[in-house]
Chain A
């Protein structure tokens, strides 16, 4: 009863085509975004910002990228870790070569380089589909990691083989490096996520997104009605790799501070894929929900025995945590195979009737 659009009339096409046409939605989302920007930097302590919220925002961006490729365009990809690594190493090389360049511009350029690499590795998608494409993108993952390990040029010939985020400022505020405070890094990451989420939402609502979905659903029929498979699939790979590249650059510059190639191995690819699957394929909100689930649940499970006062050995605790996490994933996929985003849609539908059931 509260959540109905009865009485809300749109008087222009623009208003009708808004992302959030219902006023209640708009209000809630605006409040939510304001809260996300203002509340954590003010009240959250360093642990919550550094270990929970910043990785959540960065993983959400990567999950968004993968969702565009796998959820909307239907191209299964296991190369996410590799593309994130491209973004990270490109950002490192760019910022060490051009220290005066703003770090935000560095992120965008690094994303473009990742997009270029993604285009190259997306070429097999024109011939192979589904599971086999996943294997081809696996080649991208392993090759890129091997490349960064082998060629010392990427780490500027560091003896340690790691890349370190140098201190950089934006408008005089330290954003990367050891002196950058967690609230600043969080706000920057959130800002980047907000901008790119808006771009992604508009992409999927428009012609490009519809051509991706056409390819996903029935690619032969799509080709017949005039969707060009080459361009569409490569565009999907490009845009997705751009997002993953920016996320990878943020991963090193805003979250970890320094990284070795092991940080981008196959485990990361699977993690982002799980976020997309659990959150919901083909849904922007799903990327956020999936990232939240995968980041928050393990931390929640680690802290529960402590809070309940149970004295368990750390090994036992970690193993129980892994088992419970796996069980939760299976539970959610049985309850709702289309992911958490679908659960949210069902909730919204029920809210239209609430509090009057019939």
Chain B
């Protein structure tokens, strides 16, 4: 009888425990980390999460935090599932979260309407809703250094550079293989516009989630015999695509994946055959930069590394580092403007909107040449940053191009039109940037 009572009380305590824990104050800068270390997208999610955690650990260990305020974070597993992502966000936002990195376009779309209501910055670096690049409609959402539409235009520009000029694109065949989800479809409208302007033949091929079944897609590719293939894939779709491309003997150096389709996990399964595969990115791969030496010195040598030291330097690990760095610099921008106080979310939002990452600052951070300077403004939450093309040589990724500028004159008007459409759907009004300072 007594054991039953005790058991009942224990279960009651476990049930009510989470309620009691909700809402205790944070004196650190708290950042919830939505990660996917399990599930079908784990090979991609793990290096990003590790990069993130390593950089914040570095900041805490080497600098004692951002302007003296230590960074605190809590990982929450989403398995790339929208519902679990929303559940994680709801659970963690109450702990005075300053910003959230959803790492899934699906979860980002869910969080964008909640951001201004809950007052949490949504930092969807290089993914998410491209229309949010217009900060006048989406003040709480940031997707710098560049978005999907800009990336598509930059890849077309790179292709034209390889072909000998934009006029040489006429008559060429470019195929876009995309994940059949809002993420994958992002680049399509920009590619269609560019196809009309430069008169190349564009073929759009959708691959259904999760992307393991691609035989019919590659049959069509074989029949079409395009000159270039651009891929917007994610997770297991990437490795299957690279293997299929190798199987049909496609020229791998004419196969460019976007920045979520070009990491170690995508090319190692295909082995030797993946040599020459290219990918777009906005930061360099590898560990040849001062910031990596610092991470090894202050984090891994002290045994606080999130992953394995050998896994450092993969494109997605560096993605995590860049994401953490941009978040930290935005918080620092806010901390400089509002010194000597625990920052709240409004101030952090201001910090994001006024981030001005210069070459000099990148040098101080040990990231000279690693990524590109960025300036964010009220109208421009994208920054219009240029794109690099990297190539896999069988053992590692290396950069094979200069910074390829995006076609801002093509993309920005489309962004502004889309922002009006998306903003009106949510009942927003356009804010006047000249009135704010």
Contact = CB atoms under 8 A, between A and B. Distances in A.
B109 interface: yes
Contact of B182 (A161, A166, A256): A161
A186 B422 CA distance: 26
A178 interface: yes
A313 to B, nearest CB: 7
A293 B46 CA distance: 30
Contacts of A318: 37-38, 77, 79
A219 interface: no
Interface string A135-175: 00000000000100100000000111110101100000000
Interface in B402-432: 418, 421-422, 425-427
Nearest to B76: A314
B17 interface: yes
A318 B79 CA distance: 9
A51 interface: yes
Nearest to A178: B113
Contacts of B82: 256, 259-260, 262-263
Nearest to B37: A315
B25 interface: no
Given A47-B94, A178-B116, A304 B14 contact: yes
B37 A314 contact: yes
Contacts of A161: 181-182, 185
B1 interface: no
B37 A47 contact: no
Contact of B14 (A146, A177, A307): A307
A160 B109 contact: yes
B196 interface: no
Interface string B264-277: 00000000000000
Contact of B185 (A45, A46, A159): A159
Interface string B74-98: 0111010011001100110010000
Given A51-B90, A314-B77, A262 B17 contact: no
A148 B418 CA distance: 21
Given A48-B19, A166-B425, A300-B14, A256 B35 contact: no
Interface of A: 45-48, 50-51, 55, 146, 149, 158-162, 164, 166-167, 177-179, 256-260, 262-263, 265, 299-300, 303-304, 306-308, 313-315, 317-319
Interface of B: 13-15, 17-19, 21-23, 35, 37-38, 42, 46, 75-77, 79, 82-83, 86-87, 90-91, 94, 106, 109-110, 113-114, 116-117, 129-131, 180-182, 185-186, 188-189, 206, 208-209, 418, 421-422, 425-427
Given A257-B113, A306-B18, 9 more contacts: A45-B19, A149-B208, A159-B131, A160-B186, A162-B182, A178-B427, A179-B427, A262-B106, A314-B75
Nearest 9 interchain pairs by C-beta: A178-B113, A315-B37, A307-B17, A303-B18, A314-B77, A51-B87, A318-B77, A161-B182, A160-B182
